[in-house]
Structure 1
Amino acid sequence: MAEAIETTDPCEPSHNQVSLHDWSLNLSQHFHNDKCQNVNVEKEFIGEYTIDNIPCEYCDELINFDDWERHSRQCAETDKQRIEDITNHGSNNLIPCEFCSLPVSIHDLMAHTNKCAEVERQRIQNLTKHAGNNLIPCEYCSIPIDIDEWNLHTNQCAEFERQRIQNLTKHADSDLIPCEYCNKSFTLQYIENHQTECRQQLATVSDGFNAHAFNRDLTFPETWNHSSLYNLSRYILEPTSEEYKFVANNFHRTLPSNEIVQIERIQNRRWYRQYDAHRDDFIERYGKSTEQWLFHGCKSQSIDAIINDCFNRSHAVRYAVGQGIYFATDASISLNYTQPSHNNTRHMFMARVLVGRTTKGDQTTRVCPRGYDTTGGGTVFVTYHDAQAYGEYLIEFT
C-alpha cells in the first residue's frame, strides 16, 4: 500500500514549507509575533520597565510583580484558545484581523494583516514625534491625553472600537449605514473607509491636533462630562444639582403629582454633532435660535433604540397632524404617549427641538411643507428630520 503524501504549502512570512494541517497555526503565530513587535516598540516609547511593572510574556502589558504570575496564566489560556480558534477555521471562513478586528478570508489574511501592521508601525512612528509634548492625541477619539495616561486611555478606546466594528458587521451587505461624522449613508463595503476619511478630515486643522480636540469639545453642552471615552454615555443626575432641578421643574409644571424616580443625562456625541449642525443652519436662515425644550413620551421598550439611533420617524404610530416625531410643550400631553414598564414606571424625554417655522398638518402629511420646518403649533410640534431634535434628558417617573 502506498504511503499517503502530506501536502505542504509555503508560509509567506518565512517561506518555509508547512503542512496544510499546520498552515493556519503557523500563519497565526507570525501575525502574533508581528503584533507583539509593534507593542514592544510602543512600550519602549512609553517608558522603561520597573521592578513594579513587569511585561507579560503574552500580551506585553506591564503587570505588578505580585499579580504577574496569575495574569500570565490567564493570558496563556487566552492565547491557547486564540490559536485553537484559528486552526478550527475552514479555508473559506472569515478570521478577525488581530489589528483592526475586521473579519477577513484566510486567503486574504496575510496581505490584510501586513497592511494593518504597517499602519500600526507608522502610528507608533508618528507617536514618537510627540515625545517632547505632555499631551498626545488618542488615535481613536483624538482627545489629547497626558503621556502617563495615554496607554490606558487608548486601550479602553480600542476595546470600544472593536465592539463598534463587531456591531457594524451585523449589518447585511445591502444595508445603508449612516456615517458617524457626516450622517451620509453607505453600504457595509464602503462605510468604514468613508468614516476613516471623515475622521481624518475632522482631525486636520492648521493649529495641530490640540486645537481640533479642544475646539470639538466646546461644541458640547457645558453640563456634559467631557472626560467620557465613549460616543454614548448615560449619567444619573443628582437630585440636588441645578441641572436636575431645571428638568424636574419643567416636568412638574404640568404633572405636579407624578413622582420622579430618576433623571438621566444622555451624552451621544454623534447624535449631538448632527443636531448641532442643524441648529447652525436654522440660526443662519432665521438669524436667531428657534430651539425649544419639549417633551416626548414613548414606550419603555423604545428607550434604548432612541438613545442609540435618535428619534426615528419609522417608529411613529400616531399621525394626527403629520407623520413625524411628536413633541409637546407640556409633560401632561406627552404622558398620553407613555406606557408603564414591568416595574410600573413610565419614561419621557425632555429634548432640544428646532421648531423653526410651523404650519398646519394632517394625517396625510409625510414631509414638512416647503418653507416650513414643523407642523402642528401651539402646544404640539411635529418634526420630519431625525436630527432636528436631541433627547438630552430621560425622565423615569410613576
Structure 2
Amino acid sequence: MQSQQNNVLDDHLRRLTSEERLRLATALAESGKFATCSASSGASNLKHRRPKPIAPTQTLAPQAPLPPVSVKPDKSKKEEKEKPKEEEVTVTVIQAFPTKYFSDAVLQSLLPSDWWSSSVSQFNSRDAAPLRRPVNIFHPFFLSLNQALQGQIFCIEMVENPYLWLMYQLKAVETVPFFNSTEVLLFHGTKTSNLHNIFNDNFNYRLAGTSVGHRHGRGVNFSSNPQFCVRFAQRGCIVVARVLRGVTSPGSADTLLPAPFCDSTGNFAGDIIVKYHDHEFYPEFLVHLKA
C-alpha cells in the first residue's frame, strides 16, 4: 500500500513544473510534514525521497569566503570634489580683453606714462576710434626729422590705441628672446584712406603690394629714410612706427616669408625693412607735411 502511494506521488510529481515543485517543497518544509514523513518512513523508503529543490540563488558547493579587503577612502579625491574651483588668473592681456579683470588704474599702469587717461575709457568702449593728440614739434627727434624733410613738417599727432600697444608689447616678449630683436623708429608712407584702418587695426601685411608694389617682399614696408617714404605718401602724410627689428635676410618681389631664423627682409643697403607678422609694429605718430 505504501509503495502504491509512493508510485502515485511520483507520477504526480513528474507532472509538476519546476516552479510548482519549488512552491510545494517550500510549503512542506515550512509545515514540517516533509521532515516527519522522512523520519517515519524508515531506511527502506529513502530511495523514494526527492531531494530538496535548490533555489536559484543557492550554490551546490559552498565556497570558502574571500578574505576581507580593507579599502581606504581616497581623501585626495574627496578633497578635490569638496574644494571649490579657484577662479583662473588672467596672465595675458589677450585673456583680459575686454578689460574684464582689469580696473582702469591697473590698465593705465600698463600704458606709457605720458598717455592721456581718456585712452583707457577709449579702450574699454572698444568701438571708439583711438585717441589722436598733437605733439610738441620741438622734440629732438622731430627737429631732426624736420631737418631731414627740409622743413616740410606742418604738425604731428600721437596715436594712443591701448589695444594695439599691449599687443605690440606681448609680441616683443615673444620675439625679442628668439630673434634678439631691438626696437627702432621707422617710417611708412601710405594713402590717407588707409590711415583709419592702420590706427584702428594696425598695418596689414596681407595687403602688400596692392597699390605700389613689393620689390623687397610681400609684407609691410618700412624705411629708415623719411624722404624715401614721401614718394609713397599721398596728401602729405607719413606714419612713424615702432618696429621690432631682428635678423634681416635679402628679399625680392616673390618673397613670401623671410629666411629661416630671420624675422624680416630688406635691401642690401639696410634702409628698407619688410615685416611679415602681426603686431611686430605699432603706428605711434602721424606726420602731416606742408602742401
For this structure pair, what is the TM-score category when the shorter chain's length is used for normalisation?
0.5 to 0.7
2:139 to 245, 261, 274: 245
Aligned letter for 2:278? D
1:223 to 114, 120, 133: 114
1:358 to 248, 256, 269: 248
Aligned to 2:262: 372
Query: Which aligned pairs between 1:104-253 and structure 2 lie closer than 5 A?
Result: 182=94, 198-199=96-97, 203=101, 213-228=104-119, 229-231=121-123, 232-239=130-137, 245-253=139-147
Inter-partner Cα distance in structure 1 for 2:232 and 2:286: 14
Aligned letter for 1:295? F
Aligned to 2:282: 390
Inter-partner Cα distance in structure 2 for 1:234 and 1:200: 21
Aligned letter for 1:281? E
Deviation at 1:309, TM superposition (A): 1.1
Deviation at 1:357, TM superposition (A): 0.9
Q: Quick one: structure 1 residues 201 and 222, their matched pair in 2 at CA, closer, same or farther if it must change by over 3 Å?
A: closer
Inter-partner Cα distance in structure 1 for 2:141 and 2:258: 29
Greater relative contact order structure (CA < 8 Å, 6+ sep): 2
Inter-partner Cα distance in structure 1 for 2:222 and 2:249: 15
- Does the Cα contact within 8 Å between 1:282 and 1:290 map onto a contact in 2? no
Query: Which aligned pairs between 1:64-75 and structure 2 lie closer than 5 A?
Result: none
Query: Which aligned pairs between 1:248-263 and structure 2 lie closer than 5 A?
Result: 248-258=142-152, 260-263=153-156
1:297 to 161, 170, 189: 189
Deviation at 1:362, TM superposition (A): 0.5
- What is the RMSD computed on CA atoms of the aligned residues? 2.4
Aligned to 1:348: 238
Inter-partner Cα distance in structure 2 for 1:224 and 1:339: 28
- Does the Cα contact within 8 Å between 1:293 and 1:353 map onto a contact in 2? yes
Deviation at 1:216, TM superposition (A): 3.4
- Does the Cα contact within 8 Å between 1:247 and 1:350 map onto a contact in 2? no
The percent of aligned pairs where both chains have the same amino acid is 26
Counterpart of 1:385 in 2: which secondary structure?
Answer: coil
Inter-partner Cα distance in structure 2 for 1:290 and 1:360: 19
Query: Which aligned pairs between 1:273-352 and structure 2 lie closer than 5 A?
Result: 273-286=166-179, 290-317=182-209, 318-340=213-235, 346-352=236-242
Q: Quick one: structure 1 residues 199 and 278, their matched pair in 2 at CA, closer, same or farther if it must change by over 3 Å?
A: closer
Q: Quick one: structure 1 residues 250 and 368, their matched pair in 2 at CA, closer, same or farther if it must change by over 3 Å?
A: farther
Q: Quick one: structure 1 residues 374 and 200, their matched pair in 2 at CA, closer, same or farther if it must change by over 3 Å?
A: closer
Deviation at 1:245, TM superposition (A): 1.8
Deviation at 1:280, TM superposition (A): 1.4
Give the paired residue count. Answer: 187
- Does the Cα contact within 8 Å between 1:294 and 1:329 map onto a contact in 2? yes
Unaligned runs of 5+ in 1: 1-180, 183-196, 204-208, 341-345
Q: Quick one: structure 1 residues 347 and 223, their matched pair in 2 at CA, closer, same or farther if it must change by over 3 Å?
A: same
Counterpart of 1:386 in 2: which secondary structure?
Answer: coil
Inter-partner Cα distance in structure 2 for 1:380 and 1:296: 10
Deviation at 1:238, TM superposition (A): 3.7
Q: Quick one: structure 1 residues 383 and 198, their matched pair in 2 at CA, closer, same or farther if it must change by over 3 Å?
A: same
Inter-partner Cα distance in structure 1 for 2:207 and 2:232: 13
Inter-partner Cα distance in structure 2 for 1:299 and 1:257: 21
Inter-partner Cα distance in structure 1 for 2:182 and 2:197: 26
- Does the Cα contact within 8 Å between 2:249 and 2:264 map onto a contact in 1? yes
Aligned to 1:265: 158
Q: Quick one: structure 1 residues 360 and 224, their matched pair in 2 at CA, closer, same or farther if it must change by over 3 Å?
A: same
Deviation at 1:282, TM superposition (A): 2.6
Deviation at 1:217, TM superposition (A): 2.5
Aligned letter for 1:372? C
Query: Which aligned pairs between 1:6-21 and structure 2 lie closer than 5 A?
Result: none
Aligned to 1:74: none
Q: Quick one: structure 1 residues 200 and 261, their matched pair in 2 at CA, closer, same or farther if it must change by over 3 Å?
A: closer
| Structure number with larger C-alpha Rg | 2
- Does the Cα contact within 8 Å between 1:375 and 1:382 map onto a contact in 2? yes
Deviation at 1:215, TM superposition (A): 4.3
